[in-house]
């Protein structure tokens, strides 16, 4: 880009350095042949990737994270999409309040939600960790399901559904053959957003974990606190690669900036 | 489809919201197990007067404000240049600014451990350039927390500012320029005031994120630079002091709600004036 605005351009470059450079250093350190996070890396090797794949706490935590993110996403969509329909197509008293209520988990600090669920449901009601973790993640994903699918439903013309009903389709058939296809991009976007958010979550997973069920980010956080070797860099690089795949899928389907930035280009 | 029965579809969601969010949150803030609301208010009172606790609140708010200002100062130029650019690279650069939002906070923060650690690149660079003799302590400082939080929330600032700048008609820039205003005057007189609502949204998101973030203060601040979030965790998981945990949670929630409320008021006033 032409830099006819030197001040703005320098600030922008500084911004990109802060956002991107630390990530590049993680990748560089992951391929070191040495035993420390020293820079520059000593030689090139894949030993830390091998170490990460052989370290069973990371592998089982990865499986747990994927499992939890998938379940929470499906649950949030199964519960959130009907809520969207109720808000946009149903006769609900106080629609604005109901919608605000479903977006409210976004405003309350996640640590506060985590503490509340830990104290009231795990300590108070003696529920198991996993169901509470699933409830917590699902509640946190509901705003995405309601808002993102709501945006595509608001664009869809209700008269199309009424036409289907007028032609004799049952409400359920009208939903599955007319409304659902219109919602598909919104549901897909909400799903991707929820999955990534749940997979990366730390505050809830940290407070609601059990010995048997820990997610990958929390396990990595603990590991970094105890030992300081490049295995976490290798694991981070694997997560980075997975995240790039998700971003590419998003770009090819609905448009990356639209899903994650809420920007219509 | 517009029927009372369709409205019933919200019921499972409302039930989940009540059981998994609203009831536990209210119960935790005012009546944890074995603790009376009076204990919490007493604890809240002592936190707001005790110098140690006040220092933590002050650090949380202070660093939050610094991160907010830095994020706007760095994020607005990115948004402005990208929104006004006709280059085909602008899309790629925008994606590059949004991408970090998808990446785990742990991964992003770990990068600063690599950069700022005792054998890290920044310390070595400073020594190599002859600026300092011995690599300075960079980790576990407030600077490290500011850098980490800025990295975390800068993408949010870019997105909010971008949407705002993109809505300002470039024709207005041209008109101002045509009437003889310089580039700098056009920027400060047209672009900045018209995209101010987006900046308010950006500042709110960054501040709320900064005062509640856990991973970054935990990894980069350590035990020497406590913030509200790390205190909240240690009250609820290490020392199990429910009254202190609830009091800390109340302070944190009030901070976030106050800033969101303030920004809503400012935004509304901006819209009507």
Domains of chain B: 36-272 (1.10.3720.10)
Q: Mean pLDDT across the stretch B208-227?
A: 93
Per-residue pLDDT tens over the stretch B77-97: 999 999 999 888 998 999 999
Cα–Cα distance for residue pair A145/B44, rounded to 1 Å: 36
| Count of structural domains within chain A | 1
Work out the minimum CA distance from B240 to partner chain A, whole angstroms: 10
Q: Which pLDDT score is estimated for B4?
A: 67
User: Which residues have a Cβ under 8 Å from the Cβ of A111 and sit 6 or more positions away?
Assistant: A203, A207, B212, B214, B229, B232, B233, B249, B252
Query: Nearest chain A Cα to B148, which residue?
Result: A18
Please say if the pLDDT value at position A2 is more than 70. no
Question: Which one of B114, B119, B147, B244 makes the best mutation probe of the A interface by having the most chain A beta carbons within 10 Å?
Answer: B114
Q: What is the pLDDT of residues A11-42, one digit of tens each?
A: 999 999 999 999 999 999 999 988 888 878 88
Residue closest to B175 by CA, chosen among B194, B159, B160 = B194
When pLDDT is cut at 50, 70 and 90, the band that residue A262 belongs to is low
Spell out the residues 6+ positions from residue A243 whose beta carbon is closer than 8 angstroms to its own.
A196, B99, B102, B103, B104
**A46 belongs to a structural domain:** no
Q: What residue of B is the nearest CA neighbor of A169?
A: B1
**What is the predicted pLDDT for the residue at B82?**
94
Three-state DSSP class for A242?
Answer: helix
Contact B235, B244 (CB under 8 A): yes
> Do B214 and A202 make contact, defined as CB atoms within 8 angstroms?
yes
pLDDT at A1: 44
**Average pLDDT for residues B108-116, to the nearest whole number?**
94
Q: CB of A156 within 8 A of CB of A181? A: no
**Quick check: is A21 in a domain?**
no
Question: Does some domain include residue A105?
Answer: yes
| Gap from B172 CA to chain A (nearest CA, Å) | 18
Unique residue bearing structure tokens 């869809």? A156
Coil, helix or strand for A151?
Answer: helix
- A215 inside domain: yes
- What are the tens digits of pLDDT across the range A208-254? 999 889 999 999 999 998 887 899 999 999 999 999 999 999 988 88
Decide if A33 is inside a domain.
no
Q: Is residue A45 part of a domain?
A: no
What is the CATH number for A228? Answer: 1.10.3720.10
Contact B28 A112 (CB under 8 A): yes
Taking only the tens place, the pLDDT of each residue in A70-98 is 999 999 999 999 999 888 888 778 888 88
pLDDT band, residue B44 (cuts 50/70/90): very high
| CB < 8 Å to A23, chain B | 100, 103, 107-108, 111
Is this model's pTM higher than 0.90 or not?
yes
Asked if residue B249 lies in contact with residue A115, where contact means CB atoms within 8 angstroms, the answer is: yes
DSSP character string of A171-210 = HHHHIIIIIHHHHHHHHHHHHHHHHHHHHH--HHHHHH--
Answer yes or no: is A47 within a domain: no
Tokens of A73: 């996403």
Rounded Cα distance, A79 and B25, in Å: 21
Digit-coded pLDDT (tens) for B96-105: 999 999 999 9
Contact: A19, B249; criterion CB under 8 Å? no
B207 touches chain A (CB under 8 A): no
Task: Flag whether residue A41 sits within 8 Å of chain B, measured between CB atoms.
Answer: no
Q: Which of residues 153-192 of A touch B (CB under 8 A)?
A: 158, 161-162, 165, 171, 174-175, 179
CA distance A257 to chain B (A): 6
Is there a contact between B253 and A108 if contact means CB atoms under 8 Å apart? yes
Look at residue A51 and tell me if it is in a domain. Answer: no
The whole-number pLDDT of residue B9 equals 87
B132-177: pLDDT as tens digits: 888 888 999 999 999 999 999 999 999 999 999 998 888 888 888 8
pLDDT digits (tens, 9 = 90+) for A112-161: 999 999 999 999 899 999 999 999 999 999 999 998 888 888 877 888 88
**What value does the mean pLDDT take over residues B116-126?**
87
- What value does the mean pLDDT take over residues B42-64? 96
How close A182 comes to chain B (CA, Å)? 15
Domain that holds residue A171: 56-261
Q: What percent of chain A has pLDDT over 90?
A: 60
Helices (H) and strands (E) in chain B, counts: 16, 0
Q: Tell me how many residue pairs between chain A and chain B have CB atoms under 8 A apart.
A: 304
């Amino acid at each position: 880009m032409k830099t006819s605005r030197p001040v703005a351009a320098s600030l922008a470059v500084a911004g990109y350095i802060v956002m991107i450079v630390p990530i590049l250093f993680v990748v560089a350190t992951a391929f070191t042949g040495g035993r420390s996070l020293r820079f520059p890396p000593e030689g090139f090797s894949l030993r830390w990737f091998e170490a990460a794949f052989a370290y069973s706490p990371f592998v089982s935590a990865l499986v747990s994270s994927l499992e939890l993110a998938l379940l929470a996403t499906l649950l949030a969509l199964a519960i959130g999409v009907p809520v969207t329909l109720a808000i946009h197509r149903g006769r609900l008293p106080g629609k604005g309040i109901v919608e605000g209520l479903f977006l409210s988990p976004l405003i309350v600090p996640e640590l506060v939600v985590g503490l509340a669920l830990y104290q009231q449901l795990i300590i108070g009601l003696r529920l198991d960790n996993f169901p509470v973790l699933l409830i917590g993640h699902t509640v946190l994903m509901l705003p995405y399901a309601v808002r993102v699918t709501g945006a595509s439903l608001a664009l869809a013309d209700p008269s199309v559904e009424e036409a289907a009903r007028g032609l004799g389709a049952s409400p359920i058939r009208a939903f599955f053959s007319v409304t659902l296809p219109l919602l598909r991009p919104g549901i897909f976007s909400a799903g991707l957003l929820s999955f990534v958010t749940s997979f990366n979550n730390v505050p809830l997973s940290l407070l609601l974990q059990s010995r048997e069920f820990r997610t990958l980010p929390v396990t990595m956080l603990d590991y970094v606190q105890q030992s300081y070797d490049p295995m976490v860099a290798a694991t981070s690089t694997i997560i980075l690669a997975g995240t790039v795949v998700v971003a590419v899928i998003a770009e090819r389907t609905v448009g990356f900036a639209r899903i994650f930035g809420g920007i219509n280009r | 489809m517009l029927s009372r029965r369709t409205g019933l579809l919200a019921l499972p969601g409302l039930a989940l919201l009540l059981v998994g969010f609203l009831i536990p949150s209210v119960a935790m803030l005012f009546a944890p197990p074995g603790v009376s609301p009076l204990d919490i208010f007493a604890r809240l009172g002592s936190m707001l007067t005790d110098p140690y606790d006040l220092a933590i609140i002050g650090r949380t708010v202070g660093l939050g404000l610094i991160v907010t200002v830095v994020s706007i100062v760095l994020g607005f130029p990115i948004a402005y240049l990208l929104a006004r650019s006709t280059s085909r690279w602008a899309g790629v650069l925008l994606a590059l600014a949004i991408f970090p939002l998808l990446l785990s906070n742990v991964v992003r923060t770990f990068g600063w451990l690599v950069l700022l650690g005792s054998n890290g690149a920044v310390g070595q660079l400073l020594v190599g350039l002859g600026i300092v003799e011995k690599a300075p302590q960079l980790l576990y400082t407030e600077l490290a927390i500011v850098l980490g939080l800025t990295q975390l929330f800068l993408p949010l600032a870019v997105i909010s500012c971008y949407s705002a700048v993109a809505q300002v008609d470039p024709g207005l820039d041209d008109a101002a320029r045509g009437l003889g205003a310089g580039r700098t005057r056009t920027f400060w007189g047209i672009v900045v005031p018209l995209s101010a609502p987006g900046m308010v949204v950006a500042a709110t998101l960054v501040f709320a994120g900064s005062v509640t973030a856990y991973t970054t203060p935990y990894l980069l601040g350590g035990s020497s630079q406590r913030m509200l979030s790390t205190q909240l965790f240690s009250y609820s998981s290490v020392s199990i002091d429910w009254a202190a945990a609830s009091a800390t949670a109340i302070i944190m929630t009030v901070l976030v709600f106050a800033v969101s409320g303030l920004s809503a008021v400012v935004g509304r006033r901006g819209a009507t004036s």
